[in-house]
């Protein structure tokens, strides 16, 4: 399957796809959601298979100001 959200249009199969941070299903396709943030000097991200899983996510980002 060619992932239409990939900038490189790489083939991504279910086994190599990132897992949804909420339900654990493969995060593939146009419904995929990604949350990215900087924590200290690190870039963190969480992948989600759908908007509903993104909405259900218990945000684990640090509450400390930069």
CA distances from 5 to 28, 31, 34 (A): 8, 9, 11
pLDDT in the model for residue 51: 94
pLDDT in the model for residue 19: 93
37 Cβ neighbours under 8 A, 6+ residues apart: 43, 44, 45, 61
Exposed / middle / buried, residue 15 (Cβ in 10 Å: 0-12, 13-18, 19+): exposed
pLDDT in the model for residue 62: 65
> pTM of the entire structure?
0.73
Along the 66 residues of the chain, how does pLDDT read in single tens digits? 455 555 545 667 788 888 999 999 999 888 899 999 898 899 989 999 999 999 999 887 766 555
pLDDT in the model for residue 57: 93
């Amino acid at each position: 399957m060619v992932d239409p959200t990939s900038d490189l249009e790489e083939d991504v199969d279910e086994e190599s796809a990132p897992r949804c941070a909420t339900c654990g299903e493969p995060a593939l396709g146009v419904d995929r959601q990604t949350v990215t943030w900087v924590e200290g000097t690190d870039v963190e991200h969480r992948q989600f298979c759908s908007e509903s899983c993104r909405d259900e996510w218990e945000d684990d980002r640090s509450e400390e100001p930069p």
